[in-house]
Each structure stands twice: as structure tokens, then as C-alpha cells.
Amino acid sequence: MGALPKQKTSKARKGKRRSHLHLELPQLEVCPTCKTKKQTHHVCPECGTYRGRQILRVNDAATGE
């Protein structure tokens, strides 16, 4: 038979062990092209640019492209 714990793990000890297991909000920055918020080191979902270059062609719903 395998090893068994001799005592119950308290809520405080369990919480201290799990203190780094939490969700983090994504880091946002302002897109220099369209001035909307975007995730850092990612292509802007609004205008499709990354580091001043056009990477994605984004369809505009208003013009129907």
C-alpha cells in the first residue's frame, strides 16, 4: 500500500500552496494605428497591424468588404 498522510492538510496550508494558481488579466496596450486596446505582442484585431506593418486584412462590416 502507498504512503498515506498522517494529518489533514489545513485550509491555510492548502491555500498557501495554491496561491500562485490564479487567473491573470491580459496585458493591454493602445494600438498606434487605430488607437484601440489590443493585447501586447499580438496583431490588432481591429486594423490588422503589428509593429507598423499590415499583417491581416480585416473586413469592415460597415462597407461590406
Separation between Cα atoms, residue 41 and residue 45, nearest integer Å: 12
What pLDDT does 59 receive? 81
Instruction: Answer with the residue of higher pLDDT: 64 or 31.
Output: 31
Please answer whether residues 43 and 49 qualify as being in contact, where contact means their C-beta atoms are separated by less than 8 angstroms.
yes
When pLDDT is cut at 50, 70 and 90, the band that residue 1 belongs to is confident
> Is 35 within a domain?
yes
How much is the average pLDDT of 26-44? Answer: 94
Structural element, H or E, at residue 53:
strand 53-54
5 found inside a domain: no
Q: Which of 49, 48, 4 is nearest to 58 (CA)?
A: 48
Q: Tally the domains of the chain.
A: 1
In this predicted structure, what is the pLDDT of residue 14?
96
Predicted TM-score (pTM) of this structure? 0.59
Residue 16 lies inside a defined structural domain of this protein: no
Per the structure, the complete domain to which residue 50 belongs is given by: 25-65
Q: Would residue 1 count as lying in a domain?
A: no
> Is residue 60, in this structure, part of any structural domain at all?
yes
Residue 40 domain-assigned (yes or no): yes
Name the pLDDT band for 2 (thresholds 50, 70, 90).
Answer: confident
Q: Is residue 59 part of a domain?
A: yes
**Which grid coordinates belong to 65?**
468588404
Q: Which long-range contacts (CB under 8 A, 24 or more apart) does 3-7 make?
A: none
Residue 55 has pLDDT above 80, yes or no: yes
